[in-house]
Chains A and B, each alone.
Chain A
């Protein structure tokens, strides 16, 4: 194995056969979770890190999939030997969440009761449901307590929810580019994305993949993940051809890029999963069980927290991370906070900025 990559990683599937009650009041009759692991579990089983994925992520966070040796996992820059999440030191678990479309039970799975795909009948799952299902996976893996739970964006929200729901089962929480709940603006973006999907004629018919709608949703999402600065750097006003043509075809580089992203994404992703993930984001608000008070929500947490934001992130801005930080301070919890100077917008959390990597490494290896 090279020093920098994990090489080929084979996913595994955990099947849970019991009834699984959901936050919505509905039930799932068991589920599958697909997951990958990197590194070795120590004898004392005290070095396990759970990685939680964001909106369109999956279990394949690092290394190469057996059937694709070109594109590594989505957080390959940060997970691996000697990296921020060091697989030489830690046993790292990364799963595809319930409702996903990469091997875990979700809308594109077969409903055993009907023999056909769940589709729109798959129940809405929430961040809380994910944490409960991840906790069942933890028990299956015989990990008594996570050394850390980490994630960016919606993944960071899961790390936060872990610290609230299972305070005894998580020593450190790494909450990156997240927010304590979505703002009206955040929900608005998600709603436009959903409308793009549900008004696609293919979706309305319920028989065909709503490629156009899903592509549009992805285009919109993608814009919110980038900063104006990084878009200027990547595309500026560059044209595909020498001059403008006074028409509605693809003229600017940025248009071409967005359409490529849309096509690429909508071929691979399930529309119902996209809808479900955006809803899980919208519903996320751990304080709702504590009369909206984030400080009392965090009162029972026992983890040590690292909160990280990115200066150019406007989707979940540094201000939102500071809401989490300030509530943790008020609740007298152990919390560190860094705001990484970055021009990459919300997507900053995916890239191995030196300070970002060093901060995570130091936090993970320091003794509590």
Chain B
């Protein structure tokens, strides 16, 4: 996934990573592209891990709003695998687009074959490396399929400029490309809104 995102990010650009987690993505982008990055997270542990990587990181609850970030104030706003944890994903999506000149969102695909099989055979909520939590302890409030996400974008007048489909391993195969909603485990989108 890093390689896909990396290709979409210009060198030395100003990046906001919403839900930056332990800061790995930002740290790698900083090392490889010399970006100027800012992470946002709510977890104490993640903030500490990001600081340990020498990153700038802000403790903030994305669900409480992002009004403190000005319009088009970052070259790229990134939200990697955090979208599904938000209380108000649609609001956040519009905010991401407002703040960034470009926006990149990656989501886990809940409709991929493995999830479908687990649910069908075991009758229990699916667990995978991308979605490792039990149903009762998961931070994921709004899991969706690729179709769901793309429908949300359409309804919100958001255009998908590019879409990359991969397995959790990061690999893209004929199957993930041909039947994305069934075989892709992660989708990475570059999105924008026509003004």
Contact = CB atoms under 8 A, between A and B. Distances in A.
Interface of A: 304, 322, 325-326, 329-330, 332, 334-339, 355, 358-359, 362-363, 366-368
Given A325-B58, A359-B51, 5 more contacts: A334-B56, A336-B55, A336-B58, A359-B47, A362-B52
A358 B51 CA distance: 10
B69 A336 contact: no
Contacts of B44: 355
Contacts, number: 49
A339 B59 contact: yes
A338 B38 contact: no
A329 B69 contact: yes
Nearest to A363: B51
Contact of B48 (A322, A332, A358, A368): A358
A330 B16 CA distance: 12
Interface in B64-104: 68-70, 73
The 10 closest A-B pairs by CB, nearest first: A366-B54, A326-B68, A362-B51, A337-B58, A334-B56, A338-B59, A336-B56, A336-B57, A339-B59, A330-B70
B14 interface: yes
25 contacts: A325-B68, A329-B38, A329-B58, A329-B73, A330-B70, A330-B73, A332-B14, A332-B36, A332-B73, A335-B38, A335-B56, A336-B55, A336-B56, A336-B58, A337-B57, A337-B59, A337-B60, A339-B59, A355-B44, A362-B52, A363-B51, A366-B51, A366-B53, A366-B54, A367-B54
A341 to B, nearest CB: 8
B68 A336 contact: no
Nearest to B54: A366
A335 B39 CA distance: 10
A337 B61 CA distance: 12
Interface string B2-23: 0000000000001000000000
B43 to A, nearest CB: 11
Given A329-B68, A337-B59, A367-B54, A362 B48 contact: yes
A304 B58 contact: no
Contact of B52 (A329, A337, A338, A366): A366
A9 B44 CA distance: 36
Nearest to A307: B58
Given A304-B56, A329-B38, A329-B58, A336 B51 contact: yes
Contacts of B36: 332, 334
Contacts of A325: 58, 68
Contacts of A367: 54
Nearest to B57: A336
Contacts of B58: 325, 329, 335-337
A363 B48 CA distance: 9
B101 to A, nearest CB: 13
